[in-house]
Amino acid sequence: MAKSDKLTFHIYTEGSPQNLLPLFRVMFEQDLTFDTIEDLRAFTKDLGLSAAKQMNNLAEWIGLLEKNQQGKFALSESGKLLVQLKPTLQPEIIHYLLYTSWQPAHPEQNTPLWSYRQVVDTYWKYNQVDVVDTASQIAEEINNNTSVIFSEVPGYSFSQVSFSNKSIRGVRIWLDALNPPVIDEKTNTFSRRHFCPPELLLLAMGWVAQQTEGEVGIDFLLTPTRRELICQLCLLEPNTIDSVLDWVLPKYSKVILPGTSAGVYGRFVRFLKWPELVDLL
């Protein structure tokens, strides 16, 4: 990243389920590629979708859209796998990718996705919160938090950080698409949910395991800290994670098994491999 580049934290509402998912489906069904990003934007406009470049940026950040070996814009392998999943599951998987695609080792990359994770974690910690009434407060908190994480990162300037209520709407459009829901449309209230798709929990557990020194083939203890990290990603109430895990284990026995260790210190699982999107098909 060039030092003159400005870090951005705003999440554009154009990168929405209503815009991205139909585009991915058509690209997959017709095996479409585009010579330039302008060609892709013109095509999305012809479909009646947003042609804003920010829409395509988000898809690239989370690895669903890429430049292929021929230099053309195309669905990545992850994008092709996503389209083959149940439509109701697709927003859950994109939420997972939005949440996990910013990496502390490369803080200058995909900075809006850091913001996404911050908003999700803030909602989860509140447990129940009016997402409209608290938008300005949460936006201010995230603006302030940027100085803690990014103060030494080239391109960062606190005076130029722009994260607003509209940025939070860029997060909420994906949370609104989750099923079971986490936001009540009538009351604008966020609440932790008591169930999530097993597929999301599987991916979340694999991601948390890799962040917390888990190893393939070795029993992995679901400590309170690890449980909390998993529940934040899945937007789950902590006391419900075991019931969802009971769905995961028999369904994905080629990926994860019950642990062999005694449960005196908590529940153990054992990964046979790290979960991937291909495992969900």
Domain boundary among 83, 98, 114: 83
Q: 180 and 101 in one domain?
A: yes
- Total structural domains within the chain: 3
Domain presence at residue 5? no
Are the C-beta atoms of 172 and 15 separated by less than 8 Å?
A: no
Both 169 and 96 in a single domain?
A: yes
Which domain, by its residues, includes 123?
90-191
182 lies in the same domain as 105: yes
Same domain, 95 and 175: yes
- In this structure, the answer to whether residues 174 and 245 fall within a common structural domain is no
Beta strands in 51-169 (DSSP E): 65-67, 73-75, 128-130
- Examine the domain organization and report whether 165 and 206 are in the same domain: no
In a shared domain, residues 208 and 274: yes
Which pLDDT score, from 0 to 100, does residue 263 have?
Answer: 65
Task: Please tell me the pTM assigned to this model.
Answer: 0.96
Domain boundary (167, 191, 215) is at: 191
What whole-number distance in Å separates Cα of residue 127 and Cα of residue 246? 24
The whole-angstrom separation of Cα 148 and Cα 84 is 40
Q: Do residues 152 and 245 share a domain? A: no
116 and 180, same structural domain? yes
Question: In this structure, what CATH number is given to the domain that contains residue 37?
Answer: 1.10.10.10
Strand partners, 129: 190
Closest to 87 in 3D by CA, of 11, 152, 28: 28
Check residue 200 and give left, alpha or beta (phi > 0: left; psi -120 to 50: alpha): alpha
Secondary structure of 150-183 in the HEC alphabet?
HCCCCCCCHHHCCCCHHHHHHHHHHHCCCCCCCE
Q: Of 191, 221, 254, which one is at a domain's C-terminal end?
A: 191
CA distance 193 to 87: 20
pLDDT in 10s for each residue of the chain, 281 residues? 434 478 999 999 989 999 999 999 999 999 999 999 899 999 999 999 887 777 888 999 999 999 999 999 999 999 999 999 999 999 999 999 999 999 999 999 999 999 999 999 999 999 999 999 999 999 999 999 999 999 999 999 999 898 999 999 999 999 999 999 999 999 999 999 999 999 999 999 999 999 999 999 999 999 999 999 999 999 999 999 999 999 999 999 999 999 987 667 789 999 999 999 999 99
Contact by Cβ (8 Å): 202, 269: no
Tell me if 11 is assigned to some domain.
no
Domain membership of residue 147 (yes or no) is yes
Residues 15, 59 contacting (CB under 8 angstroms): yes
Residues 274 and 223 in one domain: yes
In a domain, 12, yes or no: no
216 part of a folded domain: yes
206-241 residues labelled b (16+ CB within 10 A) or e (exposed) = bbbbeeeebeeeebbebeeebbbbbbbbbbbeeebb
State the pLDDT at residue 54: 79
Same-domain check for residues 182 and 96 = yes
